[in-house]
C-alpha cells in the first residue's frame, strides 16, 4: 500500500443510519417489513434488534473518540420524532439533543440525515414518496428538525440515496413496500424525493440562515460497458443517466429532466452547499434484449463479501466528474466495504483515501470522508450477516470490538497520513 498525505483541515469520521443501529423501534415500515413471514431478510434478523444504539449512545460516542473521528454522520428516526402525523415526541427530541451534545463535547461535528430509507407507519400507509403528499410531510418534518436541533447540528443531509431507495423498494421489491412496481412508479418516487430535497433545502436555510450547510448523500457508481460493442456502450450511458444523473441534477438545480419529468416545480437555482457522494463499486454493463441491461463485474477483479467489485479508481472518477459538473466542495458521505474477516478492509480504506489525497493535491476541494460504517449493523435486506464496521458487533451480547482496520483508520484520522506498507 502506497503512502499518502491528506491536506491540513481534511476531516475523517464515520456514518450510521438510525434504523440500522438504534433498535427498539417498531413504528416504521422497516420494522413491519422485517416481521413478515417468511422473512424477507436474508438471515432472518430484524432491525428491531440492530445494535441497541438507542441505549448505548455514550459507549458509541466513546468508540468514535477512540477511532479519532472529527466528524460523524448520524440519522434521525422520523417515526420516533413524529410517531403520529403532526404529533412530535418531546422525549425523542430530548434523546437526540443529548446525543448531539455528547458528540459536540467529544470534539465531533455532527451531520444529520433526515431521511435514510425508513418511513413512519402513518406515512407508509398513505403511500410515502409515491405521492407528493410524502414530500410535503417531509418538508414539514425538516422544518421541525431545523427549529429544534439547528443549534447543535453542524451540517445536514436531507435525503440519502433516492436512486437506491426507488430501485430496491419499487423495482426490485427487496425493500419496503416489498412488491415490484412498474418502472414509472420508481421514477415518480425518485422525482418526489429529489423535489423534497429542494424544498427542504430552502426551508432549512429559511430557518437557519445563509450559513447553514445543507446537501444530500447520493449513491454514485461507475457504469462501464462490458465490451466495446456500441450497444453495450449505449446501455452503460443510458443506465447511468436513469439511475443517478437525472436525480442528481434535479437535487442540485431544481430542474427535472427525463425520465423524472420536466420543469422546475420548486424553483430553479442552486440547492446544495456541498456535494455528498456515497461510493462503493462499479458495474460492467451488457445490453440484453431480454433483461434490458445485464450487470456484472470485471473478470478477475477483487470483490468483497457481497460480490461487489473493489475499484478505488472509481472514487476518483466520480469525485472528478461531480466537481466538474457542479463545482461544489465534495464530501464522501459513505465509502466502505463488507469484510467479515477484516482481511482487506485496511487496504480498501488506504487505497480509496489515497485517491482523495491525489485529487486534493490537484486542487479539487474534497474535504471530508465518512467511512461506512462505525460498527457492524443491520444491513437492510442482508440483515446482520453483512459486516461493514470498523468495529465488530456481537449482536447477541452487543459487545463492540475495534478491528485492526479500525486502528488503521484511527492512525490516518489523527495524522492525515499513511506511510507506505
List the pLDDT tens digit at each of the 421 positions of the chain: 789 999 999 999 999 999 999 999 999 999 999 999 999 999 999 999 999 999 999 999 999 999 999 999 999 999 999 999 999 999 999 999 999 999 999 999 999 999 999 999 999 999 999 999 999 999 999 999 999 999 999 999 999 999 999 999 999 999 999 999 999 999 999 999 999 999 999 999 999 999 999 999 999 999 999 999 999 999 999 999 999 999 999 999 999 999 999 999 999 999 999 999 999 999 999 999 887 788 999 999 999 999 999 999 999 999 999 999 999 999 999 999 999 999 999 999 999 999 999 999 999 999 999 999 999 999 999 999 999 999 999 999 999 999 999 999 999 999 999 998 7
The closest alpha carbon to 129, from 165, 179, 75, belongs to: 165
- For residue 109, what are the contacts with CB-CB under 8 A and spacing of at least 6? 11, 13, 70, 71, 72, 103, 154, 155
Per-residue pLDDT at 385: 97
3-state secondary structure at position 33:
helix
**pLDDT, tens digit (0-9, with 9 covering 90-100), for 162-194:** 999 999 999 999 999 999 999 999 999 999 999
147 belongs to a structural domain: yes
Pairwise CA distance, residues 394 & 386, whole Å: 13
pLDDT of residue 290: 81
Of 218, 211, 219, give the one whose Cα is nearest residue 252: 218
Per-residue cell: 127: 403511500
Name the DSSP letter for residue 219: E
In 51-89, alpha helices (H): 57-66, 78-81
CA distance 112 to 17: 10
Q: Kind of pairing, strands 4-5 and 11-15?
A: unpaired
Number of other CB atoms surrounding residue 346 within 10 Å: 23
The string of pLDDT tens digits covering residues 109-167 is 999 999 999 999 999 999 999 999 999 999 999 999 999 999 999 999 999 999 999 99
**Cα–Cα distance, 119 to 75 (Å, whole number):** 13
Is 325 domain-assigned?
yes
Domain extent for 368? 4-192+203-244+273-414
Alpha helices in 327-403 (DSSP H): 345-361
Instruction: Give the DSSP H/E element, type plus range, for residue 323.
Output: helix 312-326
- Using an 8 Å Cβ cutoff, are 244 and 305 in contact? no
Total number of domains constituting the chain: 1
As given in the structure block, the three cell numbers for residue 169 are 423498494
**Domain at 390, CATH number:** 3.20.20.80
pLDDT of residue 264: 97
Whether residue 330 is contained in a domain is answered as yes
- Angular region, 173: left φ>0, alpha ψ -120 to 50, beta rest: left
What is the helix (H) or strand (E) element at residue 157, kind and residue range? strand 155-160
Q: What is the DSSP letter of 7?
A: P
What is the C-alpha end-to-end distance of the chain, expressed in Å? Answer: 5
Q: What is the pLDDT of residue 289?
A: 86
At 252, give phi and psi (nearest 5°).
Answer: -75, -40
With respect to residue 268, please indicate whether it lies within any of the assigned structural domains.
no
DSSP state of 291: T
Asked if residue 263 is part of any domain, the answer here is no
Give the DSSP letter of residue 87. B
Burial class (CB in 10 A: 0-12, 13-18, 19+), 34: buried
Cα(189)–Cα(420) distance, rounded to whole angstroms? 46
Torsion angles phi and psi, residue 279, rounded to 5: -125, 135
- pLDDT at res. 165: 98
Cell of 251: 437535487
Cell numbers standing for residue 190: 425518485
C-alpha 136/C-alpha 288 separation (Å) is 39
Report if residue 384 sits inside a domain: yes
Percentage of the chain modeled with pLDDT above 90? 97
| Cβ(203)–Cβ(142) below 8 Å | yes
Kindly state whether residue 214 falls inside one of the protein's structural domains.
yes
Task: Sort strands 330-335 and 275-288 into parallel, antiparallel or unpaired.
Answer: parallel
Q: What HEC string does 223-253 produce? A: EEECCCCHHHHHHHHHHHHHHHHHHHHHHHH
Answer yes or no: is 265 within a domain: no
Mean pLDDT, the chain, rounded, equals 97
Report pLDDT for 96. Answer: 99
- Residue 1 CB-density burial (10 A; 0-12 exposed, 13-18 middle, 19+ buried): middle
What pLDDT is attached to residue 332? 99
Which residues have a Cβ under 8 Å from the Cβ of 3 and sit 6 or more positions away? Answer: 417, 418, 419, 420, 421
CA 248 to chain centre: 14
Q: How far, in Å, are 29, 190, 196, 283 from residue 266 at the CA level?
A: 28, 15, 9, 33
Amino acid at each position: 500500500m502506497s503512502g499518502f498525505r491528506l491536506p491540513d483541515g481534511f476531516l475523517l469520521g464515520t456514518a450510521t443510519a438510525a434504523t440500522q443501529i438504534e433498535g427498539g423501534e417498531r413504528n416504521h415500515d422497516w420494522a413491519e417489513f422485517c416481521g413478515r413471514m417468511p422473512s424477507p431478510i436474508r438471515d432472518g434478523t430484524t432491525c428491531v434488534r440492530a445494535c441497541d444504539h438507542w441505549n448505548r449512545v455514550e459507549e458509541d460516542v466513546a468508540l468514535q473518540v477512540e477511532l479519532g473521528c472529527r466528524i460523524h454522520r448520524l440519522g434521525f428516526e422520523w417515526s420516533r420524532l413524529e410517531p403520529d402525523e403532526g404529533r412530535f415526541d418531546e422525549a425523542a427530541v430530548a434523546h437526540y439533543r443529548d446525543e448531539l451534545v455528547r458528540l459536540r463535547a467529544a470534539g465531533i461535528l455532527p451531520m444529520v440525515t433526515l431521511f435514510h430509507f425508513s418511513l413512519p407507519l402513518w406515512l407508509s400507509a398513505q403511500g410515502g414518496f409515491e405521492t407528493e403528499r410524502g414530500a410535503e410531510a417531509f418538508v414539514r418534518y425538516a422544518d421541525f428538525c431545523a427549529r429544534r436541533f439547528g443549534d447543535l447540528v453542524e451540517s445536514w443531509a436531507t435525503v440519502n440515496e433516492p436512486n437506491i431507495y426507488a430501485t430496491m423498494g419499487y423495482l426490485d421489491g427487496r425493500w419496503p413496500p416489498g412488491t415490484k412496481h412498474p418502472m414509472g412508479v420508481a421514477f415518480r418516487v425518485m422525482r418526489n424525493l429529489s423535489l423534497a430535497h429542494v424544498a427542504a433545502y430552502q426551508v432549512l436555510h429559511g430557518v437557519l440562515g445563509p450559513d447553514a450547510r445543507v446537501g444530500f448523500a447520493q449513491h454514485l457508481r461507475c457504469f462501464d460497458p462490458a465490451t466495446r460493442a456500441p450497444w453495450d456502450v449505449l446501455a452503460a450511458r443510458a443506465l447511468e443517466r436513469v439511475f443517478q444523473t437525472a436525480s442528481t441534477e434535479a437535487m442540485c438545480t431544481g430542474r427535472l429532466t427525463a425520465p423524472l419529468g420536466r420543469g422546475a416545480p420548486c424553483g430553479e437555482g442552486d440547492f446544495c452547499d456541498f456535494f455528498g457522494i456515497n461510493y462503493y463499486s462499479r458495474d460492467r454493463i451488457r445490453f440484453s434484449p431480454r433483461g434490458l441491461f445485464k450487470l456484472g463485474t470485471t473478470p478477475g477483479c477483487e470483490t468483497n463479501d457481497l460480490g461487489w467489485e473493489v475499484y478505488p479508481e472509481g472514487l476518483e472518477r466520480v469525485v472528478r466528474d461531480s466537481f466538474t459538473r457542479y463545482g461544489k466542495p465534495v464530501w464522501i458521505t459513505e465509502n466502505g466495504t463488507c469484510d467479515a474477516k477484516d482481511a482487506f478492509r485496511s487496504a480498501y480504506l488506504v487505497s480509496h483515501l489515497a485517491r482523495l489525497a491525489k485529487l486534493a493535491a490537484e486542487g479539487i476541494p474534497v474535504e471530508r470522508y465518512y467511512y461506512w460504517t462505525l460498527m457492524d449493523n443491520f444491513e437492510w435486506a442482508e440483515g446482520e450477516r453483512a459486516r461493514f464496521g470498523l468495529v465488530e458487533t456481537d449482536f447477541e451480547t452487543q459487545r463492540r470490538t475495534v478491528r485492526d482496520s479500525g486502528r488503521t483508520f484511527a492512525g490516518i484520522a489523527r495524522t492525515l497520513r499513511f506511510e507506505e506498507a
